[in-house]
Amino acid sequence: MKLFLNSSEYIETDSAIDISIPMVAGDGNLRAWYVDPPSMEPVRANGYIGSVKEGGSVNFRNIFFNPHGHGTHTECLGHITEEVYSVNKILRNYFFKAQVITITPNQIFNEEYQELDQCITVDQLKDIKFENDIQALVIRTLPNAEMKAHKNYSDTNPAYVQLECMEVINQLGIKHLLLDLPSVDRETDGGKLVFHHAFWGIPDNPDFERTITELIFVEDNISDGLYVLEMQLASFENDASPSRPILYAIEKV
């Protein structure tokens, strides 16, 4: 179905591009932050078995997972505030003008930790031609192997976003930042989480409208450029929730 954005542009709703990573039980699922794999097990109680294969009438399974560590998720400022604000209450609009960009993180030497880090830097963002009035920024990093959907990121010092990138993000007025990394901040930083704090203005100027979506996967056949982004979110009253961001290519009449 064609959904017209204005007199000259539209999207095809049957051509949705899913950039989330499905969650599966066991070691095949991606992981971050040292969590065990997610589990999905039939309920077993008082002779009842929640598995049709094992003789039950229905499949009725318990699922144990961590939204931050087991897949694509969207988080709000409640991730770093004393009061656990709910992303389910904060995200009330679901369609946004978005730009997809591709970046190979730069290798830098981190003086504080005496290690080589991979970072998205402000100079890289300044080299990109951004469109006007975008509300969401979708970052695909290279290399872009399919293993991103199954990797265990724990203790690997993954790439992250340098604090200085906030200069460009604020200039653009970005409200929703999406990226294929486990965090915008360094894996080990002593709990400072400087990018998270700057993005949400914590503690001095909290921004309740902004969200960060991590652990997406933007396949190679998806071109850089403008899209309509739909943010689908599970209704968890929590600082973060499993999410399913969807892109729609913008077509001309």
Q: What is the CATH number of the domain that holds 161?
A: 3.50.30.50
- 176 exposure class (CB count in 10 Å sphere: 0-12, 13-18, 19+): buried
Beta pairing partners, 64:
39
pTM above 0.85, yes or no: yes
Q: 173 in a domain, yes or no?
A: yes
Give the Å distances, CA to CA, from 179 to 18, 73, 144, 216: 14, 10, 12, 6
Q: Which residue, chain included where needed, has tokens 């599970």?
A: 234
- Residue 125 is classified by DSSP as H
Domain extent for 169: 2-23+69-252
Q: 111 in a domain, yes or no?
A: yes
pLDDT score recorded for residue 57: 96
10-residue mean pLDDT profile of the chain (253 residues): values are 92 96 96 97 96 97 98 98 97 97 97 95 97 97 95 97 98 98 97 98 97 98 98 97 98 92
